[in-house]
Structure 1
């Protein structure tokens, strides 16, 4: 049986990945900050799908957290066949007025830990000549996003980075797929401190975490470099900006996302 490691597995898209991969017969390594939620999920999946699960509580915003996680997995002699880099968060507001510590934590989680985990688990995959990595980006990664400037920039990194290593590793038996969801029915907007009006607008275009995971795994099975989930509206969001002057685009997005006084 293959083994998948899922970060941010206690809720949202990570939770849906864990459920779907368990249905596919994967053994699971579940990673998040909340040990109680992970253990409940692990117990449910073990009893329902006859798989083995390993729970590793880890705060990936911490320095060296990725290396610590890799060391734990290695010490338990677990071979990871599929890495799901799902953990991440956003923050809404004017950059100059935002908490610097929170912005740096976002970079640490969304970029630094993702990059470190990719590097650490990719090396043994290359040695075996098989494996896969799914990195979660966002449709926000396709254009600058005023009032979510750091979040969009981190997701642009994930998209660019993932596509590059997809090309580097496709002939080595390893698939790398970057998943770019739009608004998804998770706790993202609550954690990001979005105003109620913006949340209400986003809810009109919500995709379920299960639908995101289904599209992600279909793209991964086809060895695609990336997939934009959520149908035609999100395809328009990521493709129309290519035909607009960048200042026009950013000004329009700023008008849409500007906080109400």
Structure 2
């Protein structure tokens, strides 16, 4: 049995990708900081798909997180030929009004943790005749997004880094892909602090995590450079190349700018980008 490592696997896209891989009878190493949800997902997958699941509770913002995961998974390295860097979060707030520590934490998880995991596990992936690395970006990678600025910048980094790495590894056995989802029903909003007007706008175009995961896994095994689920998201990827940045930024600002007195809507549709 071959194994896949999936970060941010306790819910949303990460959990859905884990389930799609379990359907293919892949063993799983699931990583998340949310202990309760992680163990619930692990148990569900084991009971339904009869594959081995090894959950690891780990805060990826910690500098030694990748090494900790590496040490805990040494036994699996003979079988580990898929790595999915899904963990990430954002904050919907004016940059100068938000906590600097919180903004830096986005970089710790979305950028530094991904780099550390890639650097740590690519040598493991190279041992196989076929192996796969999937870094999860976002459609925000195609433009600047006021009031979601650090998150969008981190995802632009993910896309650029992944494409460069793909080229560097093109003559190796490692296939490198970047998943670029648009609005998706996940718990992203709870941490991002998105407000009702933002959610209502984005919800018109959202996909389910299951839909995104199905496209992601198919694209991964086909060796695609960029995997963009959904027609609207594909259109967005093209249109932003031709529309002046100031117009794109203005439109994005109207969606994400917090309105005075408006509260977070924890009951509204949760979205991940």
TM-score (norm 2): 0.90
Mind listing any 5+ residue stretches in structure 2 that lack a counterpart? 261-273
For 1:171 and 1:76, how far apart are their aligned partners in 2?
Answer: 25
- 2:84 corresponds in structure 1 to 84
The answer as to whether partners of 1:130 and 1:172 remain within 8 angstroms in 2 is: no
Q: Which protein, 1 or 2, shows the higher relative CO under an 8 Å CA cutoff with sep ≥ 6?
A: 2
How far is 1:132 from its partner?
0.8
Tell me the number of residue pairs that the alignment of Structure 1 and Structure 2 aligns. Answer: 260
For 1:249 and 1:30, how far apart are their aligned partners in 2?
Answer: 37
How far is 1:75 from its partner?
5.9
For 2:218 and 2:20, how far apart are their aligned partners in 1?
Answer: 12
For 1:256 and 1:149, how far apart are their aligned partners in 2?
Answer: 13
Q: Secondary structure at the match of 2:56?
A: strand
- Matches of residues 168-183 of structure 1 in structure 2 within 5 Å? 168-183=168-183
Q: Secondary structure at the match of 2:18?
A: helix
Higher helix share: 1
For 1:32 and 1:230, how far apart are their aligned partners in 2?
Answer: 27
- 1:218 corresponds in structure 2 to 218
Mind listing any 5+ residue stretches in structure 1 that lack a counterpart? none
2:96 pairs with 1:96: yes
For 2:255 and 2:42, how far apart are their aligned partners in 1?
Answer: 41
Q: Residue 35 and residue 257 in structure 1: after superposition, are their counterparts in 2 closer, same or farther (change >3 A)? A: closer
How far is 1:123 from its partner?
1.2
Tell me the C-alpha RMSD between the 2 structures: 1.6
For 1:252 and 1:11, how far apart are their aligned partners in 2?
Answer: 30
Give per-residue Cα distances to partners, 1:29-83, cap 9 Å, x unaligned.
1111122322222222223222111111001112221221112112665642100
50-59 or 39-48, which moves further after superposition? 39-48
Q: Residue 40 and residue 249 in structure 1: after superposition, are their counterparts in 2 closer, same or farther (change >3 A)? A: closer
- 2:21 corresponds in structure 1 to 21
Q: Secondary structure at the match of 1:28?
A: strand
| Moved >6 Å (runs of 4+) | none
The answer as to whether partners of 2:81 and 2:124 remain within 8 angstroms in 1 is: no
167-176 or 3-12, which moves further after superposition? 167-176
Q: Secondary structure at the match of 2:135?
A: strand
For 1:77 and 1:143, how far apart are their aligned partners in 2?
Answer: 37
28-37 or 75-84, which moves further after superposition? 75-84
TM-score (norm 1): 0.94
Q: Secondary structure at the match of 1:162?
A: helix
